[in-house]
Amino acid sequence: MLTDTTGQALRRSAEKWPDREALVDIPAGRRWTYSQLRQDVRRLASGLLSAGLRRGDRVGVWSPNRWEWTLVQFATAEIGVVLVTVNPAYRAHEVEFVVNQAGLRWVFAAQRFKDSDYARILAEVAPSCPGLERVVLFGTEPFSELFADDDRGVDAVAATLSAGDAVNVQYTSGTTGRPKGATLSHGNILNNGYFVGELLAYTEADRVCIPVPFYHCFGMVMGNLACLTHGAAMVIPAPSFDPEATLAAVAAESCTSLYGVPTMFIAELALENFDSFDLSSLRTGIMAGSPCPEHVMRQVVSRMHMDQVSICYGMTETSPVSTQTRTDDPIERRVGTVGRVGPHLEIKIVDAAGDAVERGEVGELCTRGYSVMLGYWDEPEKTAEVVDADGWMHTGDLAIMDDAGYVQITGRSKDMVIRGGENIYPREVEEFLYTHPDVLDAQVIGVPDEKYGEELMAWVVLRDGAPDLSADDVRAFAADRLARQKIPRYVRSIEQFPMTVTGKVRKVELREMAVDELSSNRSSEV
């Protein structure tokens, strides 16, 4: 295991691979070698010290992917400032909550992103954030002026830091109640990035295309830190996910690895000009965030040349990856499981009483080891609800482990549908719906029902030109192939699912939409 801080890891990489490309921002037309990156990172760190920031201060970053984001990530880590990553999709009230809950002194931000004027929003919430002293906008003179002429003062602070120190706070999605800030140390995220990269067989020859967001562990840990610890190049294809820009970046930069959630790969494969991109340099990559349909995985391997693509599973609170498929695992393992436990970690599957279940039985997945967060920022009671006295993180995910140690996620404990007393796991029904020739993607939820307590509803994204799919159509397709209680009573088509910035489907929103629609229909019938 690594015992370095992030700054020490960057120094080692710059000494070992000074002339290897470290960071490429394609839209900005900027690129750095590891030697150049460390020099600029330390100049920025020195400037932050001169401006009054001190070890332990919290600084926010609110921006889509761009080179400044990465430099701020590494510069704050150099001097013990805790970086608080802010979801680019947040609105004013959410930003205000994070600024105050984490006690941010500064916020770095893009000037705007999509329909959000970050500068205006931050100005609006500032009067309600008494601890917020300064907002620095990327692409402006005040940001450029923070780069000092040298790295004066950095070494003195860096010498006081250790791997166990907090370096990052990431707020969970907050689907129930207010978001909670998972506090992560250098050792948490640096080791996780390192071991993810090890299992992908990364070397300094690799070039990783990162279209997933930096504000989330997928981008800043599995992306930036996996690269940093192996001398690989971080390639930014666009500020946010754009399927064409992503494939263009892979082709132009000869990327060997590509990241994404399944919906991203589906969008890339669906491009009309897909065959015009030379993807022959690809060998590996990561799919995470949600289960991958088998037909998508097979296309990624055959059409995108990613025969060593890996499936990762985890959560923000575990830095994030707990299990991962290996590069030599067969496709069946990669679509049917989320792999085996990662190095230096433990996992177990437990029943409601907290006792380990037998192999092949469903229970809650728990994980323990270096990756478990320090805790939720300033919320010890919330921390104790998920991390027990023995250090086990209770994920809330239902899972099965086979005799070889491979784990299958069957759903969230809160997503399980109980229909007439029978437990139904939406993932199983979704996998079945993927076999329908007109279904591109599917999400299954539970909706209230007077007779059974809950019934199943399927939301489907159909292929272009496909006729609408009714519940009767699905029943006919499922006849003699799916148990009757698992056949959705309701089926609705949708152009695209509501998504988080990280590409996860917001089932909570789908459930709200369903309840509203069904309630309206019942009212009109009356």
Which pLDDT belongs to residue 176?
41
Summarize pLDDT for 97-131 with one digit per residue, the tens.
Answer: 999 999 999 999 999 999 899 999 999 999 999 99
Q: Residue 138 in contact with residue 63, Cβ under 8 Å?
A: yes
Q: Residue 380 in contact with residue 387, Cβ under 8 Å?
A: no
Which pLDDT belongs to residue 521?
76
User: Quick one: average pLDDT of 491-520?
Assistant: 86
Q: Locate the DSSP E strands across 199-272.
A: 207-209, 233-236, 257-260
Which pLDDT belongs to residue 16?
98
| DSSP states of 52-106 | T--TT-EEEEE-SS-HHHHHHHHHHHHTTPEEEEE-TT--HHHHHHHHHHHTEEE
**Cα distances (Å, whole numbers) of residue 77 to 15, 16, 80:** 18, 20, 5
What is the CA angle 84-411-389, rounded to 5?
Answer: 60
End-to-end CA distance of the chain: 65
Q: Where are the alpha helices (DSSP H) in 387-454?
A: 426-433
- pLDDT exceeds 70 at position 524: no
Which pLDDT belongs to residue 354?
93
Q: Where are the alpha helices (DSSP H) in 146-261?
A: 154-158, 186-199, 217-219, 226-228, 243-253
- Range 307-310 contact pairs with CB under 8 angstroms and sequence separation of 24 or more: 307/283, 308/200, 308/201, 308/283, 308/284, 309/284, 309/285, 309/334, 310/199, 310/200, 310/284, 310/285, 310/286, 310/334, 310/339
- pLDDT exceeds 60 at position 526: no
Q: Residue 461 in contact with residue 447, Cβ under 8 Å?
A: no
Q: Residue 107 in contact with residue 60, Cβ under 8 Å?
A: yes
Question: pLDDT class for 327, splitting at 50, 70, 90?
Answer: very high
- pLDDT exceeds 90 at position 485: no
C-alpha 456/C-alpha 491 separation (Å) is 9
- Taking residue 457's Cβ as centre, other Cβ atoms within 10 Å add up to 26
User: Quick one: average pLDDT of 384-403?
Assistant: 95
Specify the range with the lowest mean pLDDT, choosing from 2-11, 113-122, 336-345, 420-429: 420-429
Residue with tokens 């930036």: 224
Counting DSSP H helices and E strands in the chain, the numbers are 18, 25
Beta bridge partners of 423: 418
Which pLDDT belongs to residue 97?
92
More confident residue, 483 or 389: 389
> Which domains, from first to last, does the chain contain?
6-400 (3.40.50.12780), 417-525 (3.30.300.30)
- Mean pLDDT of the residues in the chain: 93
Pairing of strands 308-314, 166-171: unpaired
User: Quick one: average pLDDT of 311-330?
Assistant: 95
Which pLDDT belongs to residue 262?
85
Q: Which two tokens stand for residue 412?
A: 């969230």
- Across the chain, which distance is largest between two alpha carbons, in Å? 75
**Sheet of 453-462, strands arranged across:** 439-449, 453-462, 490-493
Classify residue 334 as exposed, middle or buried by CB count within 10 Å of its CB (0-12, 13-18, 19+).
buried
Summarize pLDDT for 177-212 with one digit per residue, the tens.
Answer: 578 999 999 999 999 999 999 999 999 999 999 999
Summarize pLDDT for 141-182 with one digit per residue, the tens.
Answer: 999 999 999 999 999 999 999 999 999 999 986 434 578 999
- Contacts for 171 with CB less than 8 Å, ≥ 6 apart: 84, 85, 86, 87, 98, 179, 180, 181, 182
Which pLDDT belongs to residue 523?
55
Residue with tokens 């680019």: 88
Question: pLDDT class for 425, splitting at 50, 70, 90?
Answer: confident
C-alpha 120/C-alpha 22 separation (Å) is 33
Q: Residue 413 in contact with residue 398, Cβ under 8 Å?
A: yes
Give pTM, 2 decimals. 0.84
- Contacts for 56 with CB less than 8 Å, ≥ 6 apart: 80, 81, 82
- pLDDT exceeds 80 at position 458: yes
User: Quick one: average pLDDT of 507-526?
Assistant: 79
Residue with tokens 């490309």: 21
- Range 125-128 contact pairs with CB under 8 angstroms and sequence separation of 24 or more: 125/92, 125/95, 125/96, 125/99, 128/96, 128/100
Which pLDDT belongs to residue 266?
86
Q: Which two tokens stand for residue 43?
A: 């100049």
What SS3 class is residue 272? Answer: coil
User: Quick one: average pLDDT of 62-79?
Assistant: 98
Residue with tokens 């088509």: 493
C-alpha 185/C-alpha 375 separation (Å) is 10
Which pLDDT belongs to residue 290?
73
Give the rounded percent of residues in the chain with a pLDDT score beyond 70: 97
Summarize pLDDT for 224-235 with one digit per residue, the tens.
Answer: 999 999 999 999
- Contacts for 140 with CB less than 8 Å, ≥ 6 apart: 111
Which pLDDT belongs to residue 501?
63
- Contacts for 450 with CB less than 8 Å, ≥ 6 apart: none
Specify the range with the lowest mean pLDDT, choosing from 291-300, 301-310, 319-328, 436-445: 291-300
Summarize pLDDT for 258-286 with one digit per residue, the tens.
Answer: 999 888 998 999 999 999 999 999 999 99
Summarize pLDDT for 237-266 with one digit per residue, the tens.
Answer: 999 999 999 999 999 999 999 999 888 998
Classify residue 338 as exposed, middle or buried by CB count within 10 Å of its CB (0-12, 13-18, 19+).
buried
Question: pLDDT class for 522, splitting at 50, 70, 90?
Answer: low
More confident residue, 519 or 349: 349
- pLDDT exceeds 90 at position 390: yes
Phi, psi for residue 338 in degrees, rounded to 5: -110, 25
Q: Which two tokens stand for residue 370?
A: 């270096």
